[in-house]
Amino acid sequence: MNPASIQLLITGGTLDKDYQTTSGELIFKQTHLNELLREANTTLTIEPQVLMLKDSLEMTDNDREIIYLACLNTKNNQIVITHGTDTMRETAVYLSKHAGLTEKTIVLTGAMRPFKLGHSDASFNVAAALMAVQLAPNGVYITMNGQLFHADKVHKNRQLGQFEAV
C-alpha cells in the first residue's frame, strides 16, 4: 500500500444523483466519482469504495456505523467521504465522537447540484476535499464552498445554499 493513498468512501448524496427522464425524479444509478476524477486528471493515488448510494435525508445511525467501520478498517489515514449535504454535519459529528479515528484525517464533502446535470459544485468540492485531507491535521472536517470546517462548527444555510461556520 502506498502511504500517500487517499481512501475515497462514497455514500451518495446529490453529487451522485442523475435525472430519470421517464419520471422526472433525481435517482441513483451509479457513482459518478470515477468520471469526475478522470476529468480532473488527478495524479493522486485514490482508492474509491462505494459504501452506499443514498440520499442523506434517509441516512440512519446504522448507515453512519457502516461509514465509521469503513474509516476504522482502512489502512489509509487520509479519508474523503462523499455525502449528501442535508445530514453531512450529523455524520461528521458521529465520526468525531467515535474511538479509533484519532490518527486519521477525514474530510466529508458533497454537492448542492448533481454532477451529471452540469453547472455543479461537485468537482470543486471534491478537489477541495482531496487537497484538505492532505494538509489538515488529524480530525474530522467538512469542506464545502472552498472552506474547511471542523465537524461540529458548521451548519448548512439552506436559504443561501452554503455551509457556514458556527
Domain range for 37 = 6-165
Q: Is the pLDDT of residue 2 over 70?
A: no
| pLDDT computed for residue 114 by the predictor | 83
Q: How confident is the model at residue 17 (pLDDT cuts 50, 70, 90)?
A: confident
pLDDT cut 90: percent of the chain above it: 75
> Which pTM does this prediction carry?
0.93
Report the 3 state secondary structure along 16-29. Answer: HCEECCCCCCEECC
Q: Which long-range contacts link 57-66 to residues 24+ away (Cβ below 8 Å)?
A: 57/84, 57/86, 57/87, 59/11, 59/84, 59/87, 59/90, 59/91, 61/94, 63/11, 64/90, 64/91, 64/94, 64/95
1 is a domain residue: no
Residue 90: which CATH number?
Answer: 3.40.50.1170
60 is a domain residue: yes
22 is a domain residue: yes
| pLDDT computed for residue 116 by the predictor | 73
133 is a domain residue: yes
Total number of domains in the chain: 1
45 is a domain residue: yes
| pLDDT computed for residue 142 by the predictor | 98
* 105: its cell numbers: 484525517
| pLDDT computed for residue 28 by the predictor | 79
Q: Is the pLDDT of residue 118 over 90?
A: no
Cβ 122 vs Cβ 114: under 8 Å: yes
Give the range among 55-59, 63-67, 78-82 with minimum mean pLDDT. 55-59
| pLDDT computed for residue 110 by the predictor | 95
* 40: its cell numbers: 480532473
Q: How confident is the model at residue 84 (pLDDT cuts 50, 70, 90)?
A: very high
61 is a domain residue: yes
Q: How confident is the model at residue 3 (pLDDT cuts 50, 70, 90)?
A: very low
154 is a domain residue: yes
Cβ 11 vs Cβ 54: under 8 Å: yes
139 is a domain residue: yes
